[in-house]
Amino acid sequence: MGDFYFSEKNPRAPIAFCAFDAMHTRFEALWVPDGGCLVYDECRALAERIESEILRMDAIFNRHDPASPVARLNGSRGRVKVEGEELWFLLELGEQFRKASLGYFDIAALSNRGSALQGSSGRSAGASGAAPGAAEDAACASREMPRTEGPWAAEDAADAYGEVPGPGGAWAAEAPFRLIHGSHEIETRRGCILDFGAIAKGYALERVRKILDEAGVRNALLNFGGSSALGMGHHPLGPHWEVRPATPVPCENSALLHTEQAEERGADRQTEAGESAEEGVTPKKVERCFRLLDSAMSVSGKNREGRDHIVNPITGRMAGAKADIVVQGRSAIICEALSTALYAAPSELHKEIIANFGGYTFTALPREALQ
C-alpha cells in the first residue's frame, strides 16, 4: 500500500489522506470522516480500496502495458471483441466527445501521425509545414458532429468517424477504427493507436467519488498530479476547496484569465477580462486559483518539463497552444476531454466547442503572462 495518514488533532475535523503512484503520475486523496462515522481502521481499509480500484483502472487503460486490454487492441488488426464493459463505455464516450468537440478530442489522435503530417490521409499540413490554416479548421468545423447537452448517453454514440449502423457498414475515409455496437466489437485499420490518457484519469476520479460516497464521505479532495482534480462537498473549515493547477509556470504568479461559460441552452458569455482582450485592452490580473464545490477541474498544456505532448487530431501535429486550458464542471471525465480538445483547437472555435457542453467553463492561462 502507498502512503496513508490519519489525524484527529482537530476533533471537529479529523482527516484521512492516502497517496500512491498510478497512471504515470501521483494520486492523492484527502477526506473528512464526517461525524466520526469512520475511524482509523475503516479509513485505512477505504484507502486500500481506493488504491486497488485505481490500479485496476491503470491495468485496463495503460496502452504501454503489453498485458492491458488497450495494448492488445492496439496490437490487433481487423475485427475483435472489446474486453469489458468499462473499455467499451469509454470507447463510445470517446466518440461522443470527438463529435461534440468538432474532432479536436480523439482517442485515436496518435494514429498515422506521419501520414497526417504529409497529407496522405486527405488532410493538408501546408506546403510550408506551418501551423494548420483556416482551410483545415473550416474542414473540421463542417463535419456533421451533433451537439449534446450531456455526453453521458453512451448508447447514442455513433460509430467512429461517421454513422455506421452496425456490422457491414461502410468505412469512413479517414477512420482508424469503427465500433460495431450490436456485438461490442471494434474493427481497426493498420496504424490505429488508441490512447485513453485524456479521459482515463477522469474516469478513475469518478470511480473513487462513488467509493467515498458509498462509505458515507461527503467532503473530499481528489488529485491526479495537479492536472486533474475532483472536489466532493467542501473543505472542513471553508465553503469550498481551493486548488491551483500544476503547470510548468510557478503557481504563485498571477495570470491573465480568459473565461468562457456555456449556459444550459448553449448561450455563451465572456468575462470582462475576455472582452477587454478582444478590444485590445490589457485584461485585469487575477489570482490563478480555482474553487471546487461538488465539481471537477482539468488542466491541459505543456508537461512539467515545458514540452508539448498533446496531438492535434486534425493535423497530426503537436498542439503548440500559447495558453494552458483549465476546464471546470460536474464530471471529471468531461473536464479532461474538454480541456484536451480546447487546447488542441484554434481559439476561434472555443465558443462553438464549449457550447456543446452545458454547465462547463474554461479558463485560458497565457504562459507569456505568467513568465
Task: For residue 157, give the DSSP letter.
Answer: P
Co-location of 364 and 268 in the same domain: yes
Query: Is residue 134 assigned to a domain?
Result: yes
pLDDT at residue 175, as a whole number: 79
Distance CA 62, CA 77 (A): 19
Q: Is residue 143's pLDDT more than 90?
A: no
Looking at residues 102-129, what average pLDDT do you find?
A: 57
Greatest CA separation for the chain: 67
Least confident piece of the model among 15-24, 30-39, 209-218, 248-257: 248-257
Residue 90 three-state SS: helix
> Residue 244 corresponds to which cell in the numbers above?
491551483
What are the DSSP calls for 327-352, one per residue?
EEES-HHHHHHHHHHHHHS-GGGHHH
Query: Is residue 59 assigned to a domain?
Result: no
* pLDDT band with cut points at 50, 70 and 90 for residue 322: confident
Render pLDDT for 278-316 as a digit per residue (tens, 0 to 9): 333 333 443 478 999 999 999 988 777 677 778 899 888
Distance CA 39, CA 347 (A): 49
Q: Is residue 248's pLDDT more than 80?
A: no
End-to-end CA distance of the chain: 39
Specify whether the CB–CB gap between 69 and 80 falls below 8 A: no
Looking at residues 309-336, what average pLDDT do you find?
A: 89
Render pLDDT for 63-108 as a digit per residue (tens, 0 to 9): 999 999 999 999 998 899 999 999 999 999 999 999 999 999 999 9
Residue that terminates a domain, selected from 154, 188, 222: 188
> Residue 329 corresponds to which cell in the numbers above?
464542471
Query: Is residue 90 assigned to a domain?
Result: yes
Distance CA 188, CA 165 (A): 16
Query: Is residue 328 assigned to a domain?
Result: yes
Looking at residues 329-346, what average pLDDT do you find?
A: 95
Residue that terminates a domain, selected from 188, 220, 244: 188
Render pLDDT for 22-38 as a digit per residue (tens, 0 to 9): 999 999 999 998 755 67
Co-location of 183 and 125 in the same domain: yes
Specify whether the CB–CB gap between 211 and 53 falls below 8 A: yes
* pLDDT band with cut points at 50, 70 and 90 for residue 366: confident
Distance CA 81, CA 184 (A): 6
Other Cβ atoms within 10 Å of 254 Cβ, number: 13
Residue 353 three-state SS: helix
Instruction: Count structural domains, the chain.
Output: 2
Helices (H), 163-271: 200-214
Query: Is residue 128 assigned to a domain?
Result: yes
Co-location of 177 and 266 in the same domain: no
Co-location of 182 and 239 in the same domain: no
Between the alpha carbon of residue 277 and those of residues 54, 89, 259, 272, 342, the distances in Å are 41, 40, 11, 9, 18
Co-location of 174 and 245 in the same domain: no
Phi, psi angle pair for 191, to nearest 5° = 90, 0
Co-location of 161 and 242 in the same domain: no
Co-location of 246 and 363 in the same domain: yes
What residues have CB less than 8 Å from 173, skipping those under 6 apart? 122
What residues have CB less than 8 Å from 332, skipping those under 6 apart? 201, 202, 203, 205, 206, 209, 228, 230, 296, 298
List % helix, strand, coil for the chain (3-state, nearest 5): 30, 20, 45
Q: Is residue 9's pLDDT more than 50?
A: yes
Specify whether the CB–CB gap between 244 and 79 falls below 8 A: no
Query: Is residue 227 assigned to a domain?
Result: no
Co-location of 183 and 288 in the same domain: no
Closest CA to 34 of 62, 15, 57, 6: 15
pLDDT at residue 308, as a whole number: 75
Distance CA 145, CA 137 (A): 14
Residue that terminates a domain, selected from 166, 188, 210: 188
Co-location of 173 and 239 in the same domain: no
Co-location of 167 and 247 in the same domain: no
Query: Is residue 153 assigned to a domain?
Result: yes
Across the chain, what does the average pLDDT equal? Answer: 75
Residue 241 three-state SS: strand
Residues in a beta bridge with 81:
185
Q: Which domain holds residue 324?
A: 235-369
Co-location of 83 and 181 in the same domain: yes
Residue 154 three-state SS: helix
Cα pseudo-dihedral 318, 321, 322, 324, rounded to 10: -110
334-350: burial string, b at 16+ Cβ within 10 Å, e else:
bbbbbbbbbbbbbeebb
Query: Is residue 64 assigned to a domain?
Result: no
**Residue 72 one-letter amino acid:** R
